[in-house]
Structure 1
Amino acid sequence: MNPQHQLLSAKDIFVHFPLKSGGASGKARRVSAVNGVSFEVNKGETLGLVGESGCGKTTLGRALVRIGHGVVGGTVVFDGREISSLSNRAFGPLRKEMQMIFQDPFGSLNPRLTIGQTIAEVLAVHRLAKGEAARQKTLELLDIVGLNSEYADRYPHEFSGGQRQRVGIARALAVNPSFIICDEPVSALDVSIQSQIINLLKDLQRDFGLTYLFIAHDLSVVEYISDRVAVMYLGKIVEITSSQELYANPKHPYTRALLSSIPVPEPDGKRERILLKGDLPGPMHIPSGCSFHPRCPVAKPECSKREPRLLPLDGNDAHRVSCLLYE
């Protein structure tokens, strides 16, 4: 991928959370949520990030914008600037460029503030507008996301889930970002409302030149909105390629299992459902070698001993797979 076209490049990102074990020893331990993840996001594209719940998708997204208390390592380059070594104070101005839309549209809004106050607060914090200018900007943002201006004086509990998510989108847009992390933005919404929000995000991307990291577990939604897709398992990316290539020609056994679970409206009997053995292991009990091998239907003895690398498939850097079957 041409570095000149990259908005964000992450290399060997890890996130772990310190713990203390029970008992008198108090021996220090840690939970490894993200383990050496590398990927790039091109300007103006949507990179989908998929995987089972608990695989580290949200933790990775939050680490990029420094939300949370985990210990983070690795290198992040944003718009040509290395930002991972910046202090929190130096990172502050970049928050205008990197915003996040949260999964829970109600929990992410302050119930004591009106919608107008919520958006105006963002403008004030970043010193973009105040007073009447902030009010006018707020009304403009509500109109952009499809809400009436009269809603500015209402509180979050007076809105539906879809309307609250539109408010969350307006809040993210308030600071004119170039990169937005969408953390399961439609998973809490009804199916009919999901399509409205997805189409709104696509329209905003076209109108404002936005770049998205779209985190989700609904593979149908990801296929519709994403240009490329990264598949994550137990804190690692196991496959990454274009959306069209992934859905037509999945290579990693985990990717194949995920895609086999997508419901089809008129099943013709040709799709084979791949059922994985057991449950996703906890982050404190990651298997040796390939972390997927205990559940993999095609695992070999070597898979439990050697950890695979994320490598180009047949020399094609646009399609990378982390599986010993292809090394």
Structure 2
Amino acid sequence: MKIAVMGAGAVGCYYGAKLAQRGHDVVLIGRPNHVQAINKNGLVFESGGIVETVRLAASIDPAAVTGADIVLFCVKSTDTESAGAAIAPHLAEDAIVLSLQNGVDNAERLSALIGRVVLPAVVYVAVGMAGDGHVAHFGRGELVIGPGAQSDRIADSFGPAGIPVEISGNAPGALWAKMILNCAYNALSAVSRLPYGELAKGEGVMTVIENVVAECLAVANGIGVSVPGDIQAAVAGIIKTMPAQYSSTAQDLMRGKPSEIDYLNGYIVRQGGALGVPTPANQVLYTMVKLLEMRAEQQTGT
């Protein structure tokens, strides 16, 4: 199949590389320097101690989604509307659009913009950009999506490419479960500039995480979302499965880029306020990251 990746950051490059290795026709749509490096040298794909070069197309033009059977929408939550508007005129009528983004409302926001169903996917992968045209994979790589004919097609295509796909009857709950993990770790990793394994050793850190998770669950309950599984065990498991991973929020701040904190802890704070659910732990983490962003803006003069 032809697969377009809108937003060729770490997540988009990882899944694009895996699918290209399986023989799918993949095009990555991203930043000029990144695209130039890929078109010149291929995508350097580092995983499990093995470094490979994956040959695939790359473009800076959103029109590159033209004719794609599947579009993996991997932009930051802050760019959902602008990127969605950019690809909307070029989408094939029967294209499957899959949102591989943090947060719980991106698929809904994108769907309203482009006028078609967008499937939300929960992403569990530890990846980072090691430079232009170079993606490094540290662990995991599975997706969780809701049921449907399109979901079956995705699972059938992605599985042979080494991308496990779980089809869940509670997709909203699965999205919330992932967001709770993000709320628990992302801001703390960003503020400390530590990976998850080191972060968890800090005095009082696990107590803060427990408070954040409890607030998130209270907000989810207030909205009427049932979060599946043992979320406390999942939170603890991140330390074991991704000990060397820095959060995406930390990676953004270390590069001087805006983060997605408004759609993570900030979202919990806003929803908690609307519901009358106290969210002090999330509020503190949200405020700390916003202060770091403000400092970065002052230092760069933007």
On whether the aligned pair clears a TM of 0.5, the verdict is no
Query: Computing the radius of gyration over CA atoms, which structure comes out larger, 1 or 2?
Result: 1
Using the size of structure 2 for normalisation, the TM-score is: 0.29
Higher helix share: 2
Which structure would you say has the larger RCO, counting Cα contacts within 8 Å and 6 or more residues apart?
Answer: 1
Higher share of residues assigned strand: 1
Instruction: Report the TM-score when normalising by structure 1.
Output: 0.27
